[in-house]
Homo-oligomer: A and B are copies of this chain.
Amino acid sequence: MSTEQPRRIEIYDTTLRDGTQGEGVTLSLVDKLKITQKLDELGFDYIEGGYPLSNPKDVAYFEQVRDLDLKHAKVCAFGMTRRKGIKAKDDVGMNALVDSKSPVITIVGKTWDLHVDEVLGISREENLAMIEDSIAFCTGHDHVEQVFYDAEHFFDGFKANPEYAIQTLKAALAGGATRLVLCDTNGGSMPEFVLTTIKRLKETLPEANIAIHTHNDCGLAVANSLVAVRAGAVQVQGTINGIGERCGNVDLITVVANLKLKLGFEALEREDSNLHLTELSRYVYELANQNLVPGQPYVGSGAFAHKGGMHVHAVQRIAHSYEHVTPESVGNSRRILVSELSGASNIAATLGKKFDIENNRDLQREVLDRVQVLENKGYQFEAAEASFELLLYKAMNQCPDFWHLDHYRCVILKNNGNASSTEAIVKVKVGDDYEHTVAEGDGPVNALDGALRKALQHAYPQLHDVKLMDYKVRVVNPNEGTAAKVRVMIEFAVRDENQETLRHFTTVGVNENIVDASWEALTDAFAYHLIEAKAETLCV
């Protein structure tokens, strides 16, 4: 490197397309738009949104994504080469790609002669024509800025018949492709072979811009991406947290951290993006409703965990002697497993200003202790910032009781042949008065939300502005049989008088009973909103 400018590597995210091929991964349209926004904020270069022909959700995505005001990222539509024997303009898939109005189109085609002969059953010349035509058709539309060519099974194809594999790439270049994406589709290639193959390719096609797309079937997805960059690739494709079919795609979180922190490359447009990698990882896990992977490189909850003893003492003194990068460099934090030394500074860093407790070590420690007790019970505060702030308000005696619960009762009734019905009854004391209300709902949470609102609406009209938006449930310790607990997280939106959303916040509840866990998250949200809205309690 020395005085040279570090080389900048393009990062192409396919969480929304290849990632959703992973077992059990489904993202709603809203999730996909949220992830797009988040990736753009962190400076990702390309975001593959989906396959416009495959389903109505992807069609809707490409319509709605145009309304997002993306700062930097280009949205890409993914599709296959045209079918055999017809013109690209007559192919329904080709037209769907162009109609998506995406600035970038990524087209996948066959490289491996075996696939051409046996899977497609077409002549090798027709395959070359399909590649060139399809790309040329897309580049022929003014709104299409670039077409990337995904060379499926490239490394297997190159091993079997290098001449033909190179012909397919030449066809893509002839069609106007601006990136040749070498795909290790079945994840079986070794780094040494990836390196030598790309080096040979660079000799044959010195002007071509190479991208790399790897899978983790041999535990080598990261290594294969890095050797490709070393051999001259300008772009890495992968997914957040490595979600994807079989053993997953390469995890872009790990790739970006390695490129930037270990190898001296530039990546992601926003300068401090690596500081947000942990946040990004957890955001995607939450939306995909997946569990965090504690041992995930760089961003896992265990990535900077240290066990007790002399070692911990040394870590405190000379961290770099035990940690290959600082946890802060990726937005993660160190955890000391046997002691409670960690975290107080985190609290100071995140909320010190808002709560004016930057120098109040005792309070920080008190809250940290409480967090540790609750996390042992299954709570999680990383994505439930409102419940966490409520802990702080309580520790500072700034969380009054806004009401007193007498009881709630929730009844779900189903008669054969009819849809089930749900009724919730709430009795609370507000000031000197009892409020006893009932509401129906789609389910218990909806009904309890309705009944509690009715009970509180006169005393606290501010609750009118807060609306339940999203609801997530997870079993916390599934293997303990009847003692299994559920963790409920509920997201709320705060709206102004014009129904414009001002902000979102999330609360958490944990209980063996899913309804009671939901009640806890619901009441946390109401209390939090009333404090933030500076409501005066009627209970004194």
Q: Which residues of A contact B (CB under 8 A)?
A: 21-24, 26, 28-30, 54-55, 112, 114-115, 118-119, 153, 156, 185-192, 216-223, 226-227, 230, 242, 245-248, 251, 254, 257-258, 262-263, 289, 294-298, 300, 302-308, 310, 314, 317-318, 321-325, 337, 340-341, 380, 382-383, 404-416, 419-420, 422, 442-446, 469-479, 482-484, 486, 491, 511-516, 519
Given contacts A21-B307, A28-B479, A220-B222, contact A413 B420 (CB under 8 A): no
Q: Which residue of chain B has its CB nearest to the CB of A153? A: B321
Given contacts A304-B246, A405-B416, contact A254 B114 (CB under 8 A): no
CB-defined contacts of A257 to chain B, threshold 8 Å = 218
CB-defined contacts of A482 to chain B, threshold 8 Å = 442, 446
CA distance A23 to B323 in the complex (A): 17
Q: Which residue of chain B has its CB nearest to the CB of A493? A: B479
CB-defined contacts of A406 to chain B, threshold 8 Å = 415-416
CB-defined contacts of A119 to chain B, threshold 8 Å = 310, 314, 317-318, 321
Closest 6 CB pairs of A and B: A188-B324, A223-B223, A473-B473, A443-B513, A470-B478, A219-B222
Q: From residue A67, how far is it (CB to closest CB) to chain B in Å?
A: 15
- Out of B30, B192, B296, B512, name the residue touching A247 (CB < 8 Å): B296
Tell me if B246 and A305 are in contact (CB < 8 A). yes
Given contacts A414-B408, A516-B412, contact A478 B484 (CB under 8 A): no
Tell me if A186 and B322 are in contact (CB < 8 A). yes
Q: Which residue of chain B has its CB nearest to the CB of A51? A: B341
CB-defined contacts of A251 to chain B, threshold 8 Å = 219
Given contacts A216-B297, A222-B223, A295-B216, contact A410 B408 (CB under 8 A): no
Q: Which residue of chain B has its CB nearest to the CB of A55? A: B340
Given contacts A218-B297, A469-B479, contact A408 B404 (CB under 8 A): no
CA distance A403 to B106 in the complex (A): 53
CA distance A409 to B418 in the complex (A): 13
CA distance A472 to B511 in the complex (A): 15
Tell me if B30 and A422 are in contact (CB < 8 A). no
Q: From residue A50, how far is it (CB to closest CB) to chain B in Å?
A: 12
Q: Which residue of chain B has its CB nearest to the CB of A28? A: B477
CA distance A403 to B188 in the complex (A): 51
Tell me if B516 and A420 are in contact (CB < 8 A). yes
CB-defined contacts of A337 to chain B, threshold 8 Å = 23
Q: From residue A239, how far is it (CB to closest CB) to chain B in Å?
A: 12
Q: From residue A109, how far is it (CB to closest CB) to chain B in Å?
A: 14
CA distance A457 to B444 in the complex (A): 29
CA distance A300 to B187 in the complex (A): 14
Choose among A308, A422, A513, A516 the residue with the greatest number of B CB atoms under 10 Å from its CB.
Answer: A513
Could you pull out 22 A-B pairs where Cβ atoms are within 8 angstroms? A23-B302, A112-B321, A216-B295, A218-B324, A219-B221, A219-B258, A220-B258, A245-B302, A246-B303, A246-B305, A247-B297, A247-B303, A248-B295, A404-B416, A409-B413, A411-B411, A412-B444, A412-B513, A442-B484, A470-B484, A471-B484, A478-B491
Choose among A28, A314, A414 the residue with the greatest number of B CB atoms under 10 Å from its CB.
Answer: A414
Tell me if A444 and B324 are in contact (CB < 8 A). no
Tell me if B411 and A410 are in contact (CB < 8 A). yes
CA distance A413 to B479 in the complex (A): 26
Tell me if A515 and B443 are in contact (CB < 8 A). yes
Tell me if B219 and A442 are in contact (CB < 8 A). no
Tell me if B484 and A475 are in contact (CB < 8 A). no
